[in-house]
Structure 1
Amino acid sequence: MTDGALHLLEPKDCVLLFADQQAGLAFGVESIGRQVLLNNVVALAKTAMTFGLPVIASTSATKVYSGPLMPAISAALPGVVPIDRRSMNVWEDDKSREAILATGRRRLIVSGLLTEACVSFAVLSALAEGLEVYVVGDACGGLTAVGHDLALRRMEAAGARPTSWIQILLELQRDWTRHETYDRARAIVEAHAGGYGIGLAYARDMIHPT
């Protein structure tokens, strides 16, 4: 375990990569419900915007198979222009890799499709280059549940840290008295976090402290 594993994520240290979040690839996802996956990715995108994380969106085969970045994700990332590439590995595309490194952030958070390919390849390559990498497992999709799990296990064995979108949000917020991000972070939870979000909305509407 490196020292970085002992420190909680801070917005100033992190950069977020969305790899191939495209409908043509989402059609093949069987490791998680597609609507659940889209919900989680949009929540993660909104989280990045709320906390001011640099975001790199990289796409592939947009004209021949995969299509553009999914509209709901694009809408959650105003101003982010996807970088299209030919290689399955984001890290082997000079423009994508250099965009990530140019941020100067050494903690890379990754969400993408497919877990067995474009996610794994980018994560393993970024680890080899010395970055600290967090894989948002519930914002990635695999062709099968087994393939997704095996890919996550391989990445973890190589040094990546598996996490979830809600843990990313809560870890970056950490204190609900951080007023500059409170309203937006809470709105993301209420809209996307299922029962937890319902509970927050209930607390807001029904519990009135004296």
Structure 2
Amino acid sequence: MSLDPFTADNTAMLLIDHQVGTMSWVRSIPFQQMKANALALAKTAKAVDMPLVLSSSMEQYAQGPLLVELASIAPKEFEARIQRLGVVNVMDDENFAGAVREAGRKKLIIAGVTNDICTVYPTLTALLLGYDVQVVADAGGSPTKMADDIALRRMENAGATITSTVQLLAELAENWTSERGAKIIPHVMGLMPQQ
């Protein structure tokens, strides 16, 4: 694992299966918080020209469609999303793995809708392939807190860095007074608690 910072220039963002049906099964984090965090990641990737790869699984079944907001945030990526049928580990889907390779980055930010299924397996695969990985824990969740804790521990033990949305956005900003920092600030502020 490299300790070099993750930047918009060396990193790609993978958002895995943020579908309305699957999101409704998560209980370890409030739905609206998870949704806001996932959308903030997509908005930030677009704002700083970071490669963004989207996926979905079995949209016509209980998992439901991908968040409709992603279509307006990242229309090209939404249209090109990797739609798979039944493959659990999205990195086992050659179309998705190919899109990750085409991004040309050795550092990956991974946020999956369910940390205990959608996030854990592609993270383990990416680590085996030599990628540096940060998992954004609060842009997904699990049906129980125990399942979430176990998944996060498993990924961390394998070499992934576990982070939060705001922590990651601050890392990508590098300097709030820079051009890049100014593009990220609105997405951070949008996640701050309102009084």
2:77 aligned with 1:72: no
2:9 match: secondary structure: helix
2:53 aligned with 1:56: yes
Aligned amino acid, residue 125 of structure 2 = S
Of 141-150 and 181-190, deviating more is: 181-190
In 2, distance between residues paired with 1:51 and 1:147? 33
2:18 match: secondary structure: coil
Runs of 4 or more, structure 1, over 3 Å off, are none
Following TM superposition, by how much is the alpha carbon of 1:94 offset from its aligned partner in structure 2, in angstroms? Answer: 0.2
Following TM superposition, by how much is the alpha carbon of 1:73 offset from its aligned partner in structure 2, in angstroms? Answer: 3.1
Question: Root-mean-square deviation (CA), in Å?
Answer: 1.4
In 2, distance between residues paired with 1:40 and 1:56? 16
Aligned amino acid, residue 188 of structure 1 = H
Aligned amino acid, residue 144 of structure 1 = T
Asked whether the equivalents of residues 29 and 144 of structure 1 are also in contact (C-alpha less than 8 Å), the reply is yes
C-alpha spacing 1:76/1:193, structure 2 compared with 1 (3 Å): farther
In 2, distance between residues paired with 1:118 and 1:176? 32
Asked whether the equivalents of residues 120 and 155 of structure 2 are also in contact (C-alpha less than 8 Å), the reply is yes
| Superposition TM-score, scaled by structure 2 size | 0.93
Which residue pairs with 1:38 in the alignment?
35
In 2, distance between residues paired with 1:148 and 1:167? 19
Query: Structure 1: any 5+ residue segments left out of the alignment?
Result: 199-210
| Superposition TM-score, scaled by structure 1 size | 0.87
Aligned length: 192
1:12 match: secondary structure: coil
1:194 match: secondary structure: coil
* Structure showing the higher helix proportion among its residues: 1
Following TM superposition, by how much is the alpha carbon of 1:182 offset from its aligned partner in structure 2, in angstroms? Answer: 4.0
In 1, distance between residues paired with 2:19 and 2:28? 16
Q: How does 1:167-206 map to 2 (within 5 A)?
A: 167-179=167-179, 181-194=180-193
Structure number with larger C-alpha Rg: 1
In the TM superposition, what whole-angstrom CA distance separates every residue of 1:125-175 from its partner, at most 9, and x where no partner exists? Answer: 111111111100011111111101110000000001101111221111121
